[in-house]
Amino acid sequence: MKEKKVILTAFRNRCRAVFAAGLLIILAGCQETPKESIVKQKSADNIKNYESNEEVSEKDGNEPGNQDSEETKDSLDTEEAAEEKEGKINEIVKAPKSYKNQMEYEGGKITVDTDAEIVLPKVDAMNTYQVSAREVDQELIDQITNTFFENAKFYHGYSYNTWTKEDYQKDITMLKKWKAEGNLDPYHWGTDDEGNLSFDIDAAIEGDEISMADAPEQIEKQEVVPSFGLEWVDTTNGENVTKVDENRFYGVAETDQGIYGYTISGNDAHTSDVRILIQTQEEGPQSFRDFNTTGWKDGRYAMDTENRSADGETDSHSLSEDTVKSLVKISYEDAEKMAKEKIQQLGWDWEVTSWDYSLYCSSYEIKEEDVQDAGYVFYFTRVLDGAAVTFTDAYGGSLEDHNSTLIPWSYERCEVVVGSGGIERVEIYNPYNVGEIQTKNVKLMDFESIIKIYEQMMEITNADMLDYYNKLTYHVRKITLGYTRIYDPTVDSKSGILVPAWDFFGGYDSESVDYTSKDSGEHSNQSLLIINAVDGTIIDRELGY
């Protein structure tokens, strides 16, 4: 399946490149002819040539993107100033407040139902910015540590989370109890393609019994200072082999509020990605099985989706929004305040730009009876001169094929989960260093031209999905103009550019022989298509360019 996805991505990229070039030639006739052709290949050289909208700059008499000019400040108490705060970007892109249309492709097998709110940043203009990957050094580690774990004690994660004989015996006892009760799939792993249970309870019991023989009677906590280069002993093959985590810290923080797993992974020769993960954990080790079946799940997957097999059986991912709300025991305002107070201490110009409910489930499926806690997940993104980087589900950093030797670089992102007990999970990926403005007040295409590209590219980029489904219906519910990062991994995997781009958010219904899936897209952060707002090229969200 993974290889199929890689091939599918590569095929889509070729279609997008060929079609976008031809399409943009047609659309160029709808606009004033620019000094240079807008038909451009995606490359580092071309993004240096983005054109500045000098006419708007001279007319305004202000620095592009500057929301704090003296003229604006002097008129804050007037009705005109209230309108000014909305920004003048819509005078440039000429977008309506909403857009509605329905189109069918491939003989009715693909339907694109667009009924979307259009979200614009409240700015006068947008720029492009140079960005680079931030290296993980001791200064960054200390900054994260001091922000989240003041006065905590830190322990080496390998020794802290080692299973003792007692831990294995508890697991064996529980597994045998489930087996005696006839519960052979306690973690809800389901069956494989041949109908066999994916979780083998007998193998799990046997594995625990073998491991228990060499397990220690009790753990020995090793106090450490969060940093790279810590040694640990690998006993996987029955031998004690000393290893060093050159680009990783794996530890546990004991605080007055509870126990937290704390992991920092730095970039290396294979990836430019950085990951910082903080999450609450129970005292003592957590099983690998539990880690893969339980945890915080976004509420939209319960509220927006419904799956049905050929025999008519509906899965348990469908909960109403009222039901989800009833499970949350903390107010949105209190939860948001907790999240903001921590992230603002980093001083990275990150703000909450999206959010969702978050449900902690004791099983893989989202069942109301299995929800042990509920709260909110807040998505923070960088805001530049009043315009935010658009948050989407995509992490970026994928490769066009499995033989690629390029070094990938995923997007900057930050997620904070707040439950009834406070902050439960913090996930930070790839913080950027933001450099100079590359093109001030960059010239943007108008919305009419963008929507023509969207309506034709939705067919081109999704036609190959009919290899897997009999019918597809896309529901586009939000169209957003914001920043996104692009880069050219063939030139440099640690630097890129933030450019204005249009994201089309929603979900889709799919029908196949064995399965029917529905996703209304009402609460979606899935970008179904992204178009560069400067030159109209299609950006692959998974690749990041």
Residue 446 confidence (pLDDT) above 60:
yes
Residue 37 confidence (pLDDT) above 70:
no
The answer to which of 99-103, 379-383, 457-461 has the lowest mean pLDDT is 457-461
Residue 264 confidence (pLDDT) above 60:
yes
Could you list the beta-strand ranges (E) of 312-400.
350-361, 371-384, 387-388
Q: Average pLDDT of the chain? A: 83
The answer to which of 157-161, 339-343, 349-353, 527-531 has the lowest mean pLDDT is 157-161
Residue 36 confidence (pLDDT) above 50:
no
49, 39 Cβ separation under 8 angstroms: no
Bridge partners (DSSP) of residue 473 are: 111, 509
Residue 476 confidence (pLDDT) above 60:
yes
356, 378 Cβ separation under 8 angstroms: no
Choose from 32-36, 162-166, 475-479 the range with maximum mean pLDDT.
Answer: 475-479
pLDDT band at 10 (very low <50, low <70, confident <90, very high): very low
Residue 26 confidence (pLDDT) above 70:
no
pLDDT band at 4 (very low <50, low <70, confident <90, very high): very low
What pLDDT is recorded for position 381? Answer: 98
Residue 379 confidence (pLDDT) above 90:
yes
What pLDDT is recorded for position 402? Answer: 85
542, 16 Cβ separation under 8 angstroms: no
Please compute the mean of the pLDDT values over residues 39-45 and round it to a whole number: 44
Q: Which residues contact 207 (CB under 8 A, 6 or more apart)?
A: none
Whole-prediction pTM: 0.81
The CA distance from 487 to 409, in Å, is: 8
The CA distance from 187 to 56, in Å, is: 59
203, 226 Cβ separation under 8 angstroms: no
16, 540 Cβ separation under 8 angstroms: yes
Residue with tokens 């969207």: 454
CA angle, residues 512, 520, 429, in degrees to nearest 5: 100
Please compute the mean of the pLDDT values over residues 411-440 and round it to a whole number: 95
pLDDT band at 492 (very low <50, low <70, confident <90, very high): very high
Give the rounded percent of residues in the chain with a pLDDT score beyond 90.
58
The maximal CA–CA distance of the chain, rounded, in angstroms, is 79
- In one-letter notation, the amino acid at residue 544 is G
What pLDDT is recorded for position 13? Answer: 42
The CA distance from 269 to 267, in Å, is: 7
- DSSP H or E stretch at residue 336: helix 332-344
pLDDT tens for each residue of 273-306: 899 999 988 665 555 555 555 688 898 888 888 8
Q: Which of 75, 95, 96 shows the shortest CA–CA distance to 85?
A: 75
The CA distance from 348 to 25, in Å, is: 40
Q: Where are the domains of the chain?
A: 2-132+437-532, 138-157+224-433, 163-218
Residue 367 confidence (pLDDT) above 60:
yes
pLDDT tens for each residue of 302-347: 888 887 765 656 555 678 899 999 999 999 999 999 999 999 999 9
Reading the block at residue 208, the tokens are 């625990």
190, 363 Cβ separation under 8 angstroms: no
Please compute the mean of the pLDDT values over residues 172-188 and round it to a whole number: 90
The CA distance from 66 to 125, in Å, is: 8
Reading the block at residue 204, the tokens are 């799990």
140, 122 Cβ separation under 8 angstroms: no
The answer to which of 32-46, 137-151, 356-370 has the lowest mean pLDDT is 32-46
The CA distance from 200 to 204, in Å, is: 6
Residue 47 confidence (pLDDT) above 80:
no
What pLDDT is recorded for position 154? Answer: 97
Sort strands 98-105 and 110-119 into parallel, antiparallel or unpaired.
Answer: antiparallel
The answer to which of 296-310, 420-434, 485-499 has the lowest mean pLDDT is 296-310
Angle between helix 201-214 and helix 165-180 axes, rounded to 10 deg: 160
Please compute the mean of the pLDDT values over residues 514-527 and round it to a whole number: 90
What pLDDT is recorded for position 215? Answer: 86
Residue 64 confidence (pLDDT) above 50:
no
Reading the block at residue 177, the tokens are 């109890």
Q: Which of 228, 543, 279, 268 shows the shortest CA–CA distance to 415?
A: 279
Please compute the mean of the pLDDT values over residues 226-231 and round it to a whole number: 95
Please compute the mean of the pLDDT values over residues 415-427 and round it to a whole number: 94
Q: Which residues contact 476 (CB under 8 A, 6 or more apart)?
A: 112, 113, 114, 115, 116, 504, 505, 506, 521, 528
Structure-model confidence comparison of residues 515 and 283, the more confident one: 515
The CA distance from 119 to 399, in Å, is: 30
Reading the block at residue 540, the tokens are 């692959």
Angle between helix 2-27 and helix 447-460 axes, rounded to 10 deg: 140
The CA distance from 214 to 201, in Å, is: 21
pLDDT band at 1 (very low <50, low <70, confident <90, very high): very low
The answer to which of 31-40, 241-250, 502-511 has the lowest mean pLDDT is 31-40
